[in-house]
């Protein structure tokens, strides 16, 4: 079963997203990697105005490759999510509702997901050349000096992902490991 969801994501939608559910995201998502996460977190600590309202938003851990002529964005694959884990609980508490990346998350992130009703969505590493086709509009909105790590506002249509961590403390990666271990016996 595939669920179509709109970002920014309404709180009640999160309760319906369980591990293993495939989703197609349409609407607005923001890119943010390590350096942008650090700046957002520091801005929150100082009480500064953020470059966008975090409430209900989706962060995509992505650094695009340069766009070819006639394209709005190059390859748009996910990056390893664990690099953002040090900042993620703070951003979830401030209103981030969903994150998209690849790889598993720390216990602290999984606890913040449960406590603040968020969700972690995974994409397939190496699929950036296909994922860019779901991106319909791109705008640099903050930290342009970071180059590929600047925060982008993306308008997406039917962007595919799968629920990897939900508010019910389920973990797709742990389930996969357990299934693999059962199959080896």
Going from N- to C-terminal start, the domains of the chain cover 2-184
| Amino acid 94: pLDDT | 97
Q: Using H for helix, E for strand and C for coil, what is the string for the chain?
A: CEEEEEECCCHHHHCCCCCCCEEEEEEEEEECCHHHHHHHHHHHHHCCCCCCCCCCCEEECECCCCCCCCCCCCCCCECEHHHHCCCHHHHHHCCCCEEEEECCCCHHHHHHHHHHCCEEEECCCCCHHHHHHHEEEEEEEECHHHHHHCEEEEEEEEEEEEEEECCCCCEHHHHHHHHHHHHHC
CA 129 and chain centroid, separation: 18
Mark the ranges of the chain whose per-residue pLDDT is less than 70. 184-185
pTM for the model: 0.94
Q: What pLDDT is stored for residue 181 in this prediction? A: 75
pLDDT of res. 185: 64
Could you give the CA distance from residue 109 to residue 47 in angstroms, rounded to a whole number? 22
Q: What is the pLDDT of residues 88-128, one digit of tens each?
A: 999 999 999 999 999 999 999 999 999 999 999 999 877 78
- 19 contacts 175 by C-beta, under 8 angstroms: yes
CATH: 3.40.718.10, 2.40.50.140, 3.30.450.20, 3.20.130.10. Which one for 2-184? Answer: 3.20.130.10
Residue 180's pLDDT is what? Answer: 76
> 1 to each of 4, 64, 112, 119, 131, how far by Cα in Å?
10, 29, 27, 18, 20
């Amino acid at each position: 079963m595939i669920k179509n969801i709109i970002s920014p994501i309404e709180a009640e939608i999160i309760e319906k997203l369980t591990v293993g559910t495939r989703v197609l995201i349409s609407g607005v998502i923001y890119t943010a990697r390590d350096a942008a996460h650090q700046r957002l977190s520091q801005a929150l600590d100082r009480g500064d105005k953020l470059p966008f309202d975090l409430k209900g938003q989706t962060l995509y851990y992505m650094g695009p490759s340069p766009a070819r002529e006639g394209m709005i964005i190059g390859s748009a694959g996910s990056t390893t999510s664990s690099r953002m884990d040090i900042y993620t609980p703070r951003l979830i508490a401030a209103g981030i509702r969903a994150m998209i990346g690849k790889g598993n998350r720390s216990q602290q992130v999984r606890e913040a997901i449960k406590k603040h009703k968020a969700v972690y969505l995974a994409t397939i590493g190496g699929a950036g050349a296909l994922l860019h086709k779901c991106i319909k509009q791109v705008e640099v909105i903050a930290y342009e000096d970071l180059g590929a790590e600047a925060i982008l506002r993306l308008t997406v249509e039917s962007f595919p992902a799968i629920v990897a961590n939900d508010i019910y403390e389920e973990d797709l990666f742990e389930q996969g490991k357990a299934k693999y271990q059962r199959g080896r016996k």
